[in-house]
Amino acid sequence: MSLNLPELTSKVRRLATETGRFIRQERRGFSRVRVEKKHAHDYVSYVDRESERRIVSGLKELLPEAGFIAEEGSMGFNGEPYCWVVDPLDGTTNFIHDNAPYCVSIALRDRNEILLGVVYEICRDECFWTHKGAPSYRDEEVIHVSDVSSADDAFLALGLPYDAETYKPVFQKLIAGVYGNVAGTRVVGAAAAEMCYVACGRFDARAEAFLGPWDVAAGILIVKNAGGRVTDFSGGNDCESGQEVVASNGKTHDFLLKMLEKN
């Protein structure tokens, strides 16, 4: 079956935006009493679950033959030719504390590659999107990664995954390498949104590990189609699992990879 990716992407954009508006409305009256702990410092709320229900229902109507990998109900390929990769609320901890950003992230892939990516950043009311063979967009504007090439001028984002004990030595190495040697470093707390910020030039690079595929699938394609580079910590292509992800404008990429080299 041949997909009409421009038309499908347009419909996914609409679904992501509608879900994001639901999340924004729920945030106005949100109570932390309704928050559940999944793991240490990893939370979920009825908003995550209801958002996923709405997204999954909508995507099933758009492409009934596709499976799902979704944060609150992972399934994955089960004989289907396509698979939706969904994070219904990336940045849940930010959302709980009424702190920007948080977003909806939806990607579609086949067994070989990511075909489309949509990230609706709720706090800024911005939709980042692309599909195979297309540029990357913020709403209707084509976006590109930055031209920054000097580490001294680079503005970087670093993630702090929930697996703190395993990641702590890596993060300490990154902080030691970038602190005082770059223009600025931020820990923002929403991987999908931050990858889109790399794609549009707000950040020059971002690194994190121990994420899920739902955190990065849409962002990977959006960064690449905006002229950027996405790899694992070794510079290879094993990044779609989310276990190791460096996203950059390409020119600052090797600076981070050098710090992440295994001794």
Q: Which domains does the chain have, with CATH numbers?
A: 5-143 (3.30.540.10), 151-260 (3.40.190.80)
Bridge partners (DSSP) of residue 206 are 157, 247
Residue 113: left (phi > 0), alpha (psi -120 to 50), or beta? beta
- Whether the full predicted model's pTM is greater than 0.85, yes or no, is yes
Q: Which of 62, 66, 67 is nearest to 8 (CA)?
A: 62
Contact call for residues 222 and 199 (beta carbons, < 8 A):
yes
pLDDT digits (tens, 9 = 90+) for 99-128: 999 999 999 999 999 999 999 999 999 999
Task: Tell me the pLDDT of the chain (263 aa) as tens digits.
Answer: 589 999 999 999 999 999 999 999 988 987 666 676 655 444 567 888 889 999 999 999 999 999 999 876 656 666 789 999 999 999 999 998 999 999 999 999 999 999 999 999 999 999 999 999 999 999 999 999 999 999 999 999 999 998 899 999 999 999 999 999 999 999 999 999 999 999 999 999 999 999 999 999 999 999 999 999 999 999 999 999 999 999 999 999 999 999 998 74
What values do phi and psi take at 48, rounded to 5?
-55, -50
Return the structure tokens found at 261: 């080299």
**What angle is formed at CA 53 by the lines to CA 52 and CA 58, rounded to 5 degrees?**
95
